[in-house]
Amino acid sequence: MAFDVETVRKDFPILSREVHGVPLVYLDSANSAQKPQVVIDAEADLYANHYANVARAVHTLGSEVTHAYEGARDKVAAFLNAPSRDEIIFTRNITEALNLLAYSLSNASTTIGADRFRIGPGDEIVVTEMEHHSNIVPWQLLAQRTGATFRWIPIDDEGRLVESAIDEVINERTKVVSFVYQSNALGTINPVRRIVERARAVGAISIVDAAQAAPHLPLDVQDLGADFVAFTGHKLYGPTGVGVLWGRYDLLAQLPPFLGGGEMIETVDMSGSTFAAPPHRFEAGTPMIAQAVALGTAVDYVTAIGMHEIREHEKALTAYALDGLQSIDGLRIIGPATPVDRGATISFTLPGIHPHDVAQLLDEEGIAVRAGHHCARPVCVRYGIPATTRASFGVYTTTDEIDALVRGVDKVKEMFTR
């Protein structure tokens, strides 16, 4: 079926509400996406009709809920084109997925048989200058714990990685390269395969933060070639409280656990414990059952629309918005100013007007955008600005909403220059 944004919008109950007496224009999907009714229903249905704990009970509800939870794992595996369902680990969000890796990697230093992952003084951990804090801080902490050096690939004036720095920063000393697919602050889409190939050539582990990619473009982990890919459910029209870490099975099988507890063990003795195979080794305790099941529904939802269709819709919106916003005198786009290799997230500044004021005045027009450093403070430091205003689009965004944004920003500017 052809993509029809008005049909899509009917699936999202919140989009029919008003804010300050005017229709809501929700342009903050990069922060968190709204939920279609099917996702809301999936979570409620699980609690209303099937709820029990997973993997523990032999009774009917226990078996139904385990089936639903493991079914969500199958759906996510298919969504990512993962070779095996056992490569899908449910986490609380992508922040936890990245921390899981960082802690498992440092635990590897004291685990027999995990030499491949040993990190210590002289080794290097690489990120980029455009990372979300959740892909900076865990690696800085890993560097502190292990004595390794933390490095980054810089960004240029347009908001792209400095291509010529990639081969220098990723070198024979590099153990880990963790980088964002699509920047939440700039909208930039990075050359994932190019970076993954370089990481592989030097024997480093590659990790892709796909938080802003999973909702917006087709993701195929086999095609990307990375070792690990993570995303977060709430940005993919799914519930809060659930994220995903995909990892190549041979690597997961060698990695020691992050958290210890129930369900992640093989046997437990007072003299010591052994651990379950992946993915359960990395899912200690009662998981986020209803959220994972509803994430499976969200995956079904976007798959039925088509990730290619979503990408094309959002590409057109991005081009339209870049044109509209740049027609405002003095407005500066922070990030790529053309629609090439960029996603539907646009950060901007207005001379002499604080981004928070812009966002607050837009809210009075019913327009929800985000202002701040977007948990990517080094980006603001790079461009010498305290913050940006950010408009971000999703499957339900319309050109009328972008017109409202452009009118709203124009009005804010007029108010401040009066």
Ligand X SMILES: Cc1ncc(COP(=O)(O)O)c(C=O)c1O
Residues at the site binding ligand X, with contacts judged by CB under 6 A: 93-95, 132, 134-135, 180, 184, 209, 211-212, 232, 234, 375
Smallest gap from Cβ 326 to ligand X, in A, equals: 24
Residue recorded with tokens 């919106």? 317
Distance, CA of 35 to CA of 366 (rounded, Å) = 19
Residue closer to ligand X, measured from CB, 196 or 214: 214
Residue closer to ligand X, measured from CB, 50 or 234: 234
Residue closer to ligand X, measured from CB, 226 or 406: 226
For 400, other C-beta atoms within 10 Å of its C-beta total: 11
Smallest gap from Cβ 390 to ligand X, in A, equals: 10
Three-class SS of residue 123?
Answer: coil
Distance, CA of 224 to CA of 234 (rounded, Å) = 23
Smallest gap from Cβ 202 to ligand X, in A, equals: 24
Distance, CA of 256 to CA of 113 (rounded, Å) = 10
Residue closer to ligand X, measured from CB, 146 or 291: 291
Residue closer to ligand X, measured from CB, 66 or 345: 345
Smallest gap from Cβ 252 to ligand X, in A, equals: 20
For 267, other C-beta atoms within 10 Å of its C-beta total: 9
Residue closer to ligand X, measured from CB, 93 or 104: 93
Smallest gap from Cβ 213 to ligand X, in A, equals: 8
Smallest gap from Cβ 378 to ligand X, in A, equals: 13
What is the maximal distance between C-alpha atoms in the chain? 75
Note whether 207 and 176 are within 8 A (CB).
yes
Alpha carbon separation from 270 to 263, 267, 274 (Å, rounded): 17, 10, 11
Residue closest to ligand X (Cβ): 184
Distance, CA of 313 to CA of 154 (rounded, Å) = 31
Residue recorded with tokens 């999936």? 42
- The verdict on whether 380 is a catalytic residue reads no
In one letter, which amino acid is 366? G
For 67, other C-beta atoms within 10 Å of its C-beta total: 13
In one letter, which amino acid is 55? A
Smallest gap from Cβ 62 to ligand X, in A, equals: 29
What residues pair up with 247 in beta bridges, in sequence order?
A: 228
Residue closer to ligand X, measured from CB, 302 or 406: 302
Distance, CA of 279 to CA of 416 (rounded, Å) = 55
Catalytic residue (choose from 375, 377, 386, 410): 375
Closest CA to 345 of 213, 242, 207: 213
Smallest gap from Cβ 35 to ligand X, in A, equals: 15
Residue closer to ligand X, measured from CB, 180 or 331: 180
In one letter, which amino acid is 281? R
Residue recorded with tokens 């190549």? 248
Three-class SS of residue 357?
Answer: helix
Closest CA to 229 of 238, 239, 263, 212: 212
**Omega within 30 of 0 (cis) for the link into 378:** no
Give catalytic residues, as residue numbers. 375
